[in-house]
Amino acid sequence: MVPVEAVKLTAKTGVMAGETTVNITEAVLKGTATATTTASKQVVHLLTLGATRTQKGETDQAIRLYEQAITLERENPYPYILLGDAYFRKGELDKAEKYLRQAIKIDPSIPESERLLTEVLSRKGKP
């Protein structure tokens, strides 16, 4: 199991009337806490490194790590959520929307992806 301290990633996104916090960490930990296969362990490691890079403001490096995680497990929604978050932070809203929609397609039960997608669409001026 990944220690919570290792993946402290809270995306703070400015919204017109204030600030909303989307806790991506819980989603990542929930989905990866029982990683047992080698690929899953590698994915957890990549997500943890990506979260650390994101915290340090090294978004481009985080994006590369999340993309690597996707190549290992294409049907794991969590790298897509974090990739969407990273692109959101960079202001690349079309890419953020694309990856968040992919995460939702894989697993629509993760509320963080829907919340972050709502933020992205709000910024894009879409309902």
pLDDT in tens, 44-77: 899 989 988 988 999 999 999 999 999 999 999 9
Grade residue 20 by pLDDT with cuts at 50, 70 and 90. very low
* Mean pLDDT along residues 15-32: 44
pTM of the model: 0.74
- pLDDT of the residue at 41: 84
CATH for 4-13+24-124, options being 3.40.50.1000, 3.40.50.410, 1.25.40.10, 1.10.1060.10? 1.25.40.10
pLDDT in tens, 84-107: 999 999 999 999 999 999 999 999
Domain ranges of the chain: 4-13+24-124
pLDDT at residue 34 tops 90: no
Helix axes 59-72, 77-90, angle to 10 degrees: 160
Alpha helix stretches (DSSP H) within the chain: 24-32, 38-55, 59-72, 77-90, 93-106, 111-124
- pLDDT of the residue at 6: 31
Give the position of tokens 């590369």. 64
- pLDDT of the residue at 28: 58
Q: What gap in Å lies between CA 69 and CA 53, rounded to an integer?
A: 14
* Distant-in-sequence contacts of 12-18, Cβ < 8 A, 24+ apart: 13/88, 13/89, 13/116, 13/119, 15/119, 15/122
